[in-house]
Structures are given as C-alpha cells and as structure tokens.
Amino acid sequence: MKYGKSRELFARAENIIPGGVNSPVRAFKAVGSQPVFIDHAKGCRIFDVDGNEYIDYVGSWGPLILGHSHPEVVQAVREAAGRGTSYGAPCLAEIELAEIICEAIPSIEKVRMVSSGTEATMSALRLARAFTGRNKVIKFEGCYHGHADSFLIKAGSGLLTGGVVSSPGVPEQLAQDTLVAQYNDISSVEALYKEFGSEISAVIVEPIAGNMGLVLPDPNFLHYLRKISDMYGSLLIFDEVITGFRTRFGGFQDTVGIKPDLTTLGKIIGGGLPVGAYGGRKEIMDRVAPTGDVYQAGTLSGNPLAMAAGVATLNVLRDVEWYDRLEIMTYMLTSRLKTMLEEFDLYPCINRFGSMFCIFFTEEEVNSLEKVMTSDTEQYSRIFRRLLQEGVYLPPSQFEVCFMSCAHDLIDIDQTVEIFGRALE
C-alpha cells in the first residue's frame, strides 16, 4: 500500500495541530508508525485518502455498532439537518432519546444529555459530591473516565501508551481527593474505605475495563462495590460510556443485575455523533439545575443531529437478536485468531465480551493492570503495522479495545483471518 497523501496531510497537520492530531492515540506513536487519513467509510470498511481499503475493528472507538454510514442513521441525520443543525433550545428528539434510555436502563430514572463522555463523567462526579456533601472519589488504576482533572490520576487509554500516570496541570488538591484502587482487587477498595470512608462521595468504575485493553470484572467485584458503597453512604457510578448499549440493550449493569446510583453514557447513544449523558435516581438527578443547585449546561447538549442519530441507532438495536449475532461473530473471529497465533508459537491472552475483544501478547491471564503491563507491546506494534499494510485496521495501541459491528459478516472474518496469517509469516 502507498501512503503518500496521508504522509503529506500529517506533515501539514503537525504545523497547526499539536502532534498533528486532535486526540493523542491517533498519532500512531504507540505502534511506531504514522497515521492514515480517512476519506470515507461504509459498513465495516474504511478508505483512506490514498485509496487503501481496510476492514475496520475500531469503529470510531466503539459508537458505530451498526457500522459506518448505516442508512437509517444517515437518513435521520439528513432529515434533522434539513430542519436546522442546532437550536440551543429544546427539541422533540432529546425527549425521545431520553425515554429510550430510561426504558432500557431501569437504574436511570432521569437523564441529562451532554456532548461527550468526558463531560458526562465530570458532571456525574460533581453531582455525587454535591449530593453526599463529600469530596473524595475512588477510581481504579488503568480505568479512563475522560480527561477531566479529577480523572487524570493513574488513568488508562492513551495515558498508558504515553507512559504518563497523571497529567501536568492537575491541581494538587484534586489529586489528593482522588483515591486510586486496583481493578478487581477488593482488598484495595476496602483499605481506602476504612481510612477515608466518611469522606468518600463515590466510587466510579468501568464495569468492564475498556481503556487498558479489555479487562473483565471478577465475579464478585462489582457486587462488592455496590455493597461497600451502600455501607458507607457513598454513591456507585458505572461509567458505561463504552459498554452502554454495546454489551446489551440495557447496558452491562443489566447483565450483572446491579443498579448503580449514577450511570454515564456516550458512544453508541449518539450513533457516531458527539454525545454523552448521565443519569440515575430521581432524587439525585433533581439536584441538577434548573431543578436543583448543581450547575451544568451546554449549548450543544441535546442538539438535534446527535439526538436523531442516537434515536435511529437505538431503535435498530431494540431487536436484541443483533447482540446474539455480534457475540457469535466475535467468538468465531477470536477463536480462529487464537488457533492461528498458536500455530506460529504465539500464545496470547484474548479477552472478549459480546462484541468487544483485545489481543494481549502475554501468556498470562489478564485480569488486572499489572497483568496488562506484561503484554509484549512491541509484538503488538509489529503485527499492527503488518495488518495495516494488508488491509486490517486495529486500534493503534495495545491498550485499546477492538469492536465488532453489525456490518461485519462471515466473509470479513475469513478475510481477517487470512490477512492475519500473511502478517505472521
């Protein structure tokens, strides 16, 4: 494949955009390469400016569960745009999307729309602090909840590949109020509650960790968080920005049978457009202005384009057979890849759930950040570059998740496995 136009665009971008990209992982530094610039996409395929075609397992980092340019989503956005791109005022579509969310996720009695997952988690944390009258929050090492100051303490996602455990510019006081536990380690949570229990406003967790690669929760871990947060009078926040409507129509909380006090959403509820949301029990959400005294606002919150895309996407996903299909397709792909990799004397740990998966190049079972860090990132980088040359687009970082879409079919799986084989030769 040739990448002349992408190289020219990247050089041009570096002159006017920090690092040449608008989100760090896109720079491909973690995989020792340079980014390809995308021209268009359809179904499960993306096409770069040089005309190269790829089977896409990034899916805009998760929201495109229906695939790129799904006709019902495109039509909904086209019709909405014809009526106006933004009002800064209420519209019918935001009520429709809110009703679908509250119907699907019983723990959400009221929901507030925002414009990103970061905004959702930031707002949920502010609300939790106000509701409890406490300042400290527990997060988990390697989990990523966006780039708000309170969360940039031992975070996941690009902060892992960049070798940064917290970002400069975060006030020391905020760092002191952010307590860090280890994912899947009940004892680390218990120790923090024993020392700071009366000061902890909330514990926030990705129910499936999706920003240090894919790490699944141990059977009792999430139930323990529900129990101990109740015991100490703090709130439990599920960050389902990735897992909400991705793992199941009612989110991962429906799978495990846990009702968090607050839930944050994003990705899929915007159908590929910028959107986020936070919601929970009525008594908590009624503290949000203008009903209550916790201020949060946004000109583009509930904007008609994102709302239309979200409603169209979720209406398609009401047919829950899609989730069965996605799980089967993901199982087929990962099983065949694991067999093939073993034929080349590579014995990776492949974590998967539903339509998400991650290939860790380590022979250890990966159930914690410590185990994540045993993965051979150089091996991942080498295979990533070879796959890219052959037409498969994986996340440009070992510490991100691959996503299957409803647009992938058996032919795409066959081609992916075949390309993997060539990349390993």
Q: What stretch of H or E contains 128?
A: helix 117-132
- Strands 262-265, 235-239: pairing is parallel
**144 part of the active site:** yes
Q: How far apart are CA 154 and CA 181, in angstroms?
A: 10
Token pair belonging to 374: 């045993």
Map tokens 């080349």 to a residue. Answer: 344
Cα angle, residue 203 at apex, residues 327 and 64 outer, rounded to 5°: 30
**380 part of the active site:** no
Question: Among residues 177, 239, 261, 412, which one is catalytic?
Answer: 239
Question: Among residues 183, 267, 380, 412, which one is catalytic?
Answer: 267
Q: How far apart are CA 309 and CA 66, in angstroms?
A: 11
Nearest by Cα to 412 from 393, 396, 425, 395:
393
Nearest by Cα to 255 from 205, 219, 227:
219
Report CA 109 to chain centroid distance, whole Å. Answer: 23
First to last CA, the chain: 18
Question: Among residues 3, 54, 57, 144, which one is catalytic?
Answer: 144
Cα angle, residue 56 at apex, residues 98 and 5 outer, rounded to 5°: 115
**239 part of the active site:** yes
Catalytic annotation, residues: 144, 239, 267
